[in-house]
Amino acid sequence: MLDTAPLASNASTRRRVAVVINFLTHYREDLYRRLLQRQDLELTIFCHLPPPGSSLKSIHDRFPGHVRLLPARFMLGETIVWSTLPWHCLTERFDAVYVEGNPRYLAFALLASWLQWRRKTVVLWTMVQSFRNHPGRQRLRLAWTRSFSRLLVYSDSEVALLRAIGFESNHVVAINNGLNQDRIDDARHAWTASGLNSWRAEQGLLGKKLLLSCARLEDKNKFDQLIDVLPQLVESVTQLVWCVIGDGAAREALQLRAEAAGVSAHVRWVGALHDEARLAPWFLSASALVHPGAIGLTLLHAFGYGLPVVTHARAQTHGPEFTAMVDGEHGLLYPEDDSPGMAQAVLRLLTNDALRGDMSARCLRRVQNEYNTRTMAERFMQCLNQITES
């Protein structure tokens, strides 16, 4: 049943804005908190709860009075989603409506097209690059996206790409998807050099060279490729330990693979960690983050600790956050599925302190200045100001 809780009252001087999205997840909490604190904005978020069995956790209850839950049917393994929307409310009660721009959310796509046809102020909040990119589906999505006069996309590079293929640029704004860097900075600054040394000693890692991975243990992340080259890496860096934060269905198979390769003593299965204070010493103690599969926000999380990233170079299979990385400046890239290339990149970072130090400083500048929730809130308002003042 549709959540019919009354909307917050609207002062005449405040712009009434609706955001229609799939899920309200923790990494966007600071963005919405910043927007809800604004005195010139009346924001209401329409979203689903994650489907039963999902690992996603909704934070809708942290914004009482500002969130309306949408009943949804998830079909074909979430390939298609149908939502029950308050059509009249979304059509008539808001000065602007931001709508998730993924056509597999059928009702969202219909709503966005309906609002555009009615000449309402609608912003399609979409991405050009995604993990599930398929050339045919991408062409169809971009063809549909062309019908909208106002777009909010994930990164500056996506704006450049849209301009290159003929999209009008006047009302295309990049939000520069990111994390709460203030919270990461607080966690980072809480650790002194002596405190980290004590922590490493407690963990049995004092004097070790750490590689880090942080993701669910699933086949798509291709951690088996890193296990296959660990013997070569350990031969060159004898004190190497690969620390794996995360859990999942592939954990047992990966552990068996590490045993068969004779490198179990060089792998630390940390398990799932979510609290930033507990994550911080692992990131601060590592020399690089390695991710053989498709990477997204994990890249920006690593940058937040000044940690260079090693991942593959095929942009089409990464998330939109990948565009924040420049090869040789924020880490090193290698050809997709080229395990020897990955090993070479990892060894280059592990054995070149000066290179790693320069990259670390660039990584921090990247997220502190461009990719964070503060920037996201500013870009959201930039987009709103453009469309309401034009």
Report CA-CA distances (Å) from 332 to 194, 302, 363.
30, 13, 12
Please check whether residues 220 and 319 belong to one and the same domain: yes
Has residue 3 got a pLDDT over 50? Answer: no
Report CA-CA distances (Å) from 75 to 3, 82, 347.
21, 8, 45
Residue 315, domain member (yes or no): yes
Residues 6+ apart with CB under 8 A from 1: 71
Please check whether residues 73 and 129 belong to one and the same domain: yes
CATH number assigned to the domain comprising residue 284 = 3.40.50.2000
Please check whether residues 85 and 141 belong to one and the same domain: yes
Residue 9, domain member (yes or no): no
Residue 10, domain member (yes or no): no
Mean pLDDT of 306-332: 95
Please check whether residues 23 and 164 belong to one and the same domain: yes
**pLDDT band at 131, cuts 50/70/90?**
low
Please check whether residues 187 and 145 belong to one and the same domain: no
Residue 4, domain member (yes or no): no
Q: Enter the pTM of the model.
A: 0.92
pLDDT of residue 221: 96
Angle between helices 223-236 and 339-350 (to 10 degrees): 50
Calculate the dihedral angle through the C-alpha atoms of 206, 207, 213, 216, rounding to the nearest 10 degrees. Answer: -30
As a whole number of angstroms, the distance between CA 311 and CA 333 comes to 5
Has residue 170 got a pLDDT over 70? Answer: no
Please check whether residues 92 and 111 belong to one and the same domain: yes
Please check whether residues 105 and 156 belong to one and the same domain: yes
As a whole number of angstroms, the distance between CA 187 and CA 181 comes to 10
pLDDT above 70 coverage of the chain, percent: 94
- The mean of the pLDDT values for the chain is 92
As a whole number of angstroms, the distance between CA 212 and CA 304 comes to 14
In the block, residue with structure tokens 């296959």: 228
Residue 232, domain member (yes or no): yes
Please check whether residues 147 and 40 belong to one and the same domain: yes
As a whole number of angstroms, the distance between CA 286 and CA 366 comes to 19
Mean pLDDT of 240-266: 97
Angle between helices 353-369 and 297-304 (to 10 degrees): 110
Has residue 337 got a pLDDT over 90? Answer: yes
Calculate the dihedral angle through the C-alpha atoms of 219, 223, 225, 230, rounding to the nearest 10 degrees. Answer: -160
Has residue 132 got a pLDDT over 90? Answer: no
pLDDT of residue 129: 67
Provide φ and ψ at 207, rounded to 5°.
85, 0
Residue 218, domain member (yes or no): yes
Please check whether residues 141 and 228 belong to one and the same domain: no
Coil vs helix vs strand at 268: strand
**pLDDT band at 134, cuts 50/70/90?**
low
Coil vs helix vs strand at 79: coil
Residue 6, domain member (yes or no): no
Has residue 8 got a pLDDT over 70? Answer: no
285-176-281 Cα angle (round to 5): 10
Q: Compute how many other C-beta atoms are within 10 angstroms of the C-beta atom of residue 370.
A: 15
pLDDT of residue 138: 76
pLDDT tens per residue across span 358-385: 999 999 999 999 999 999 999 999 999 9
> For the chain, what is the domain count?
2
pLDDT tens per residue across span 14-67: 899 999 999 999 999 999 999 999 999 999 999 999 888 777 889 999 999 999
Angle between helices 353-369 and 339-350 (to 10 degrees): 100
Mean pLDDT of 172-195: 96
Please check whether residues 219 and 155 belong to one and the same domain: no
pLDDT of residue 163: 87
Please check whether residues 344 and 243 belong to one and the same domain: yes
User: Which residues span the domain enclosing 21?
Assistant: 15-178+372-389
pLDDT of residue 140: 82
Residue 249, domain member (yes or no): yes
pLDDT tens per residue across span 80-89: 899 999 999 9
CB 58, CB 50: distance < 8 Å: yes
> Whats the size of the chain, residue-wise?
390
Please check whether residues 88 and 202 belong to one and the same domain: no
Mean pLDDT of 271-288: 97
CB 77, CB 52: distance < 8 Å: no
